[in-house]
Amino acid sequence: MVCRGPCQVRGFYTRENGVVLNETLDLAHDTTARSVLLHELVHYVQQLNGKFEKLPDRCDRWFAREYEAYEIQNAYLRTQGSALRFDTESVRHLCRKEEPGDAGFDPRSPG
């Protein structure tokens, strides 16, 4: 649904499809898999509440959504004793400001 070839996406959220998870995730036995679900559920709640919608720049809105979702995901991983952390700054480059002749990154959804 989101990749044309080999895909690293484990989950995403859209208003049209809701939360969609990679079928390889083992929610019953894998803390990281559950953290992916939590991340996408955060995007669902953000959309329900219109959180960050007042930010004027679409890239700033997208990054604010991602930052919050990763922060909550990382907090969950800490409570589960996992050393894994997702770097919130690592996604900032995925949405760049549009320049003349450049379509930029147009995120379809909060997550």
CA–CA dist 110, 42 (Å, integer): 9
Q: Is the pLDDT of residue 100 over 70?
A: no
More confident residue, 60 or 89: 60
DSSP 8-class letter at 88: G
pTM higher than 0.85: no
Q: Is the pLDDT of residue 79 over 80?
A: yes
Task: Say what the pLDDT of residue 89 is.
Answer: 84
Task: Say what the pLDDT of residue 62 is.
Answer: 92
